[in-house]
Structure 1
Amino acid sequence: MTLTFIQNMGGASLLLFLIFGILYTIFWIYCLVDVLRSEFKDPNMKIIWIVILLFAQGIGPIVYLAMGKSTKITNYS
């Protein structure tokens, strides 16, 4: 079933899905690296954000960028 769906897609649609998938993967890796390199107000927040990014892959990075900044320690030096 899936194979026939892919075979019936046009080249432009397949290319669009491929580009979207690559960009989303880069976005997800950026968020994961940002969590690993950041310091948080609560030490448990790092683990919580990693779990959210790993198990809620569809919306995890979007939620992290929207809400994660308020849980970080900001050092402007």
Structure 2
Amino acid sequence: MEYAGLGGLVVLALNIWAIVSIIGSGAGTGSKVLWVLLVLVLPIVGFIIWLLAGPRSSRAAA
């Protein structure tokens, strides 16, 4: 089994989840664009930063 491919798939899934959550958040458009760019350009680091400080979806806040 190739673990690098599996790890990449996990990172991809987490980044998709982060982007969907960012888009569904109540943050302003400019803020959303910057967060999505951060997650896309720095997949692992950007995800961790979003997890700690990023905007949450409106469902998560309720």
Q: What TM-score comes out, normalization by structure 1 length?
A: 0.62
The number of aligned residues is 60
Correspondent of 2:18 among 12, 15, 31:
31
Q: CA RMSD in A?
A: 2.3
Q: Secondary structure at the match of 1:50?
A: helix
- Runs of 4+ in structure 1 displaced over 2 angstroms? 71-76
Answer yes or no: is 1:55 the counterpart of 2:41: yes
Q: TM-score, normalised by structure 2?
A: 0.74
Decide which structure has the larger Cα Rg and report it: 1
Greater length-normalized contact order (CA 8 Å, ≥ 6 residues apart) = 2
- Unpaired runs of 5+ in structure 1? 1-11
